Amino acid sequence: MNRSSSTSLQPRFRLRSIVLLLALALIFSACGTNTDDNATTDVEETATEETAEGTAEESTVEEPADSADDEPAAEEPDDSEAPENGETAEPAATGEAVDVGLFFDGALTGDATTEDCTLNGGAETTCYRLTVGGDPVSYETGPFCPTNITDGPEAGGIWFDGNGVYDLDGEFITNLAELYGDDNWQLYNDDGTVNVTETAEEFDLAARPDVDPSVQNHCVEGQLEWLENGQPVTSTVLIPVEPVLADGATTSRGNLGVTLDGVVIAQSAPVDAILGAYTIAAFDDCGGHYNPVDGYHLHGAVGCSELGEVTDGETPMFAYAADGFAIHSPLDDPASADLDECNGHETEEFGYHYHANNAAENQVVECFTGQVVDTGRGR
Ligand SMILES: [Zn+2]
Ligand SMILES: [Zn+2]
């Protein structure tokens, strides 16, 4: 992402004046011309450093807000409300467009390129080919599992199962049998320690649909170091440059979208299989976790990776859905917002966008209003 240097113009102007005054003062007070030159050079160097620092800081803070302000420019509300036209030969451009400039620095690996693509409703259009880094650039992943039944909520992440969001603390671990009505739950030992996957091998045995019996009754967590080569897993996605409306709500078997800080949004976590093996596939406080093949990915939106601040009644954007529409954080009161069946609505400020479900529902986005490139592969 290119950072604008225009914000530094004014400070530089001021600094120039200071340099000039200092130089004049030195000329009047110094004895020899050589000393003047050296002193002036020193002052100028210092001024340059300060300007550079100021620019970096300002950009970091201001860029998300600026970008958010820019976004609604591409809005054309009335055209996007015409999904009844079933013809896919002529894509119904919505007027919204993906802005790759909104991705955080470092979230994308390589350049965003464009190419022809065919969407699942038959539309032929242009897509961005984006590769996300697979490691969130705006936060550190983890913690996931608590290690002792005396641990408080800060020691672990969260768990959600379609019914609720739970802090992964010691109390949660000791209450599992009661919560799920099954006395076979026993994730902790007599000394209070919690069974947590401790090696890459244990993690591989636990983080798969057919959980190995040896790791039943474990809190399952992975680490970046346990992935192949110890590196984040990058993911390449094709997203329509301009969303194309589908005939009706549509779904995809692939990933649901990508966050602005470089992580894929996965399909619902397979909660039944996880709980059926008496495991908890712990999420961190941002709603993501590792698996051995796909690396770190998101299952629940809890307000991480957000872009700037927004006005009352709205929540910040944090991702693009696979159909190219923006995804904003969950609303405090979704009922008041008149959302459609895919949790989308159109506002003057943001155009059409989705609101993620509450993390409790274990499904960030339920369906798409626009057509997607269906890769036929989810996780
Ligand atoms: Zn997962
Ligand atoms: Zn909204």
pLDDT in tens, the chain (379 residues): 333 333 333 334 444 444 444 343 433 333 333 333 333 333 333 333 333 333 333 333 333 333 333 333 333 444 444 444 444 444 455 668 999 999 999 999 999 999 999 999 999 999 999 999 999 999 999 999 999 999 999 999 999 999 999 999 999 999 999 999 999 999 999 999 999 999 999 999 999 888 999 999 999 999 999 999 999 999 999 999 999 999 999 998 999 999 999 999 999 999 999 999 999 999 999 999 999 999 999 999 999 999 988 888 999 999 999 999 999 999 999 988 999 999 999 999 999 999 999 999 999 999 999 999 977 654 4
Determine how many CB atoms are found less than 10 A away from the CB of residue 379: 17
Determine how many CB atoms are found less than 10 A away from the CB of residue 244: 24
Cα(324)–Cα(316) distance, rounded to whole angstroms?
A: 16
Reduced to 3 states, what is the DSSP secondary structure of residue 356? coil
- Which bound ligand lies closest to the C-alpha atom of 273? 1
User: 347 C-alpha vs ligand 2 centroid, how far in Å?
Assistant: 7
CA 137 to the chain's CA centroid: 9
- Which bound ligand lies closest to the C-alpha atom of 350? 2
Cα(156)–Cα(146) distance, rounded to whole angstroms?
A: 5
User: 337 C-alpha vs ligand 2 centroid, how far in Å?
Assistant: 7
| Percent helix, percent strand, percent coil in the chain, to nearest 5 | 30, 20, 50
Cα(15)–Cα(20) distance, rounded to whole angstroms?
A: 8
User: 315 C-alpha vs ligand 2 centroid, how far in Å?
Assistant: 7
Cite the DSSP H helix spans in 237-278: 271-276
Place of tokens 């120039």: 16
User: 101 C-alpha vs ligand 1 centroid, how far in Å?
Assistant: 27
User: 7 C-alpha vs ligand 1 centroid, how far in Å?
Assistant: 41
Q: What is the number of alpha carbons within 13 Å of residue 212 lying toward its C-beta?
A: 11
Check residue 364 and report its DSSP letter.
Answer: S
User: 92 C-alpha vs ligand 2 centroid, how far in Å?
Assistant: 22
Single pTM value for the model: 0.76
Cα(314)–Cα(334) distance, rounded to whole angstroms?
A: 10
- Which bound ligand lies closest to the C-alpha atom of 293? 1
CA 33 to the chain's CA centroid: 58
User: 83 C-alpha vs ligand 2 centroid, how far in Å?
Assistant: 20
Closest by CA position to 282, among listed 136, 134, 143, 135? 143
Dihedral sign computed on CA atoms, order 156, 157, 160, 166: positive
Place of tokens 């993501």: 288
Stated as kind and residue range, the H or E segment containing 46 is: helix 33-70
User: 151 C-alpha vs ligand 1 centroid, how far in Å?
Assistant: 24
User: 91 C-alpha vs ligand 1 centroid, how far in Å?
Assistant: 33
